[in-house]
Chains A and B, each alone.
Chain A
Amino acid sequence: DAMVIQNPRYQVTQFGKPVTLSCSQTLNHNVMYWYQQKSSQAPKLLFHYYDKDFNNEADTPDNFQSRRPNTSFCFLDIRSPGLGDAAMYLCATSRDQGVGEQYFGPGTRLTVT
């Protein structure tokens, strides 16, 4: 089955220790998104890649970076996690930009100790 896969499902990191979350897709979609969802809140877009073009949201902290080495993979790097970065991180894909629905992975629950 074509799908969006996120690893790990649960990640614990220490305050200030860099962490990388992974997303892969077998849908061959052009666009990959990263969302942050805190408890009982709406998912919030951090940034997205349209092919190799990186699009950062204006209010995404500099602490959050992303890499997309190829069509299938996209990484979320948090350079110095703070307690406020504890959240669910959702990866999503869409076939094209501005068209159609997005397909989500199961998410990575990040805990910062």
Chain B
Amino acid sequence: DQQVKQNSPSLSVQEGRISILNCDYTNSMFDYFLWYKKYPAEGPTFLISISSIKDKNEDGRFTVFLNKSAKHLSLHIVPSQPGDSAVYFCAASARGNTGKLIFGQGTTLQVKP
């Protein structure tokens, strides 16, 4: 029973264009969502998060959108850069539930020069 799903294993975009990574969840108790970026041979690095009381959070080139009714969130990277090429994990938690993170399987983003 996979509560957090990233249905696209990979995504390829041209440098300078927008990258959109998607994530769906099933547990309505989730109220905090995070995106992590992972380079080969490194651990996941926190990128951006959003609380369920918001529908958008922005940090520089990275914006996360949350659609609670659809149980869907997305990460937008604009403009995409070759250094953004990595695996991106979506994660969700229910506050008050020990902070346990449930991860998606990840999406490998390749940004071509």
A contact set with B: CB distance below 8 Å: 4, 6, 9, 31, 40-45, 48, 50, 55, 57, 90, 92, 94, 96-107
Contacts and interface: CB of A to CB of B under 8 A. Distances in A.
Nearest to A107: B43
A102 B103 contact: no
B17 interface: no
Contacts of B101: 43, 45, 102
B42 interface: yes
A43 B44 contact: yes
A50 B97 CA distance: 12
A54 B108 CA distance: 34
Given A45-B100, A48-B98, A50-B98, A40 B43 contact: no
24 contacts: A4-B43, A40-B9, A40-B105, A42-B4, A42-B89, A42-B104, A42-B105, A43-B44, A43-B101, A44-B103, A48-B98, A57-B100, A96-B99, A97-B98, A98-B96, A98-B97, A99-B95, A100-B99, A101-B46, A102-B101, A104-B45, A105-B43, A106-B41, A106-B42
Given A43-B89, A45-B100, A50-B98, A101 B49 contact: yes
Contacts of A94: 99
A11 B104 CA distance: 26
B58 to A, nearest CB: 17
B105 A102 contact: no
Q: Which among A31, A90, A101 has the greatest number of chain B C-beta atoms within 10 A? A: A101
A112 to B, nearest CB: 20
A107 B43 CA distance: 6
Contacts of B100: 45, 48, 57
Contacts of B36: 104
B75 interface: no
Contacts of A6: 43
A55 B99 CA distance: 12
B96 A42 contact: no
Contacts of A31: 99
Contacts of B106: 40, 42
A41 B87 CA distance: 12
